[in-house]
Amino acid sequence: MSISTEQHNYRLLTVIVVYERELTDVKSFDYLYSQLNSYLSTRDINKNEIFLLEQIIIYDNSKKACYKYSENLEGCSYFHNADNGGTAAAYTYACNLASKVGIDWLLLLDQDTALPDRFFEKASESIAKSSINPTALVPWVFHGKDVVSPARVTDFGTIIPLHYNSAKTSGSFQTAISSGSILYVPTLSTILPMPSAFWLDYVDHWIFLQLQLRGLPILLFDASLKHNLSVSNIESLSHNRLTSILNGEYAFIAMLGVKAKILYPFRLIARIFNYIFPRPDLAIHTIAWIAHRLRRSR
């Protein structure tokens, strides 16, 4: 399901997924709140813009509630999930709320993504000039100096980020990081719920695979975001997070072709060797995960 770009303005809701982080440390909040105030101060839906930010949801997966004072900020709402539902629960909650109040566009963010000053302007300019009716808009996302999104999924199941600007008009990318992406809510509603294996890691790749399988258009727009890719730091990787990565990767590979499935065991072996010197405990944990998976498959 796609939307016609003939409409002048699109109402937008943003969900920020946080975990054990103070609101003052959420990189995108100040920018988002300034955009929200700009709309709330005038309530002008005839402004020369397309995306108008109307609501911000702070979805808190921390063990203890941290953000109660945000409820006093107009246009902001807060939800605490002490059970830590990951990004999947946050996105589902935000999608359901957006559907309920009639907001058709949803910006997905996590606490480690910083937005550039003209983010909404560039997204608006892009969709206004586009010849397609996109169901998602994705920006360029950088971890340090390296592009991490958008990316293509190879036949072997590996995810390869594109070189900056290489897919600006070609549409050759297939997946993206969810944080910073703008999704069309009626479409997202049709592909939910997500499989249980996708609760945190590979949620983004699952979403974009569903769009790709349905032949739905995705628009890349020229905004550059900074994102801290926490899983890239092996030293800080916990056993629980590694389990989430392994479970998500396994479920994602199962949805791909034969080549990806054949190569997957070799990728697991390579992962073990990558861990064995800097973090031997992660190598052991991966071996234990493989053994557990083999026992379950018998």
* Rg for the chain, CA atoms, rounded: 19
In 3D space, the residue among 189, 184, 217, 210 whose CA is nearest the CA of residue 13 turns out to be 184
**Separation between Cα atoms, residue 20 and residue 61, nearest integer Å:** 8
Burial degree of 122 (CB within 10 A; 0-12, 13-18, 19+): middle
For 92, phi then psi, to 5°, come to -65, -45
Taken in order 254, 259, 265, 270, the sign of the CA dihedral is negative
Q: Which residues contact 72 (CB under 8 A, 6 or more apart)?
A: none
For the chain, count helices (H), then strands (E): 8, 11
Tell me the one-letter amino acid at 10.
Y
Whether residue 81 contacts residue 92, with contact meaning beta carbons closer than 8 Å, is answered with no
33 Cβ neighbours under 8 A, 6+ residues apart: 56, 73, 76
- The fourth-level CATH superfamily of domain 10-231 is Spore Coat Polysaccharide Biosynthesis Protein SpsA; Chain A (3.90.550.10)
C-alpha count within 13 angstroms, C-beta hemisphere, residue 283: 11
- Inter-helix orientation angle 203-213/86-101, to 10°: 50
pLDDT tens sequence for the chain (298 residues) = 545 445 468 999 999 999 998 888 898 999 999 999 887 877 665 556 789 999 999 999 999 887 665 556 889 999 999 999 999 999 999 999 999 999 999 999 999 999 999 999 999 999 999 988 999 999 999 999 999 999 999 999 999 999 887 555 445 678 999 999 999 999 999 999 999 999 999 999 999 999 999 999 999 999 999 998 888 889 999 999 999 999 999 999 999 999 999 999 999 999 999 999 999 999 999 999 999 999 988 7
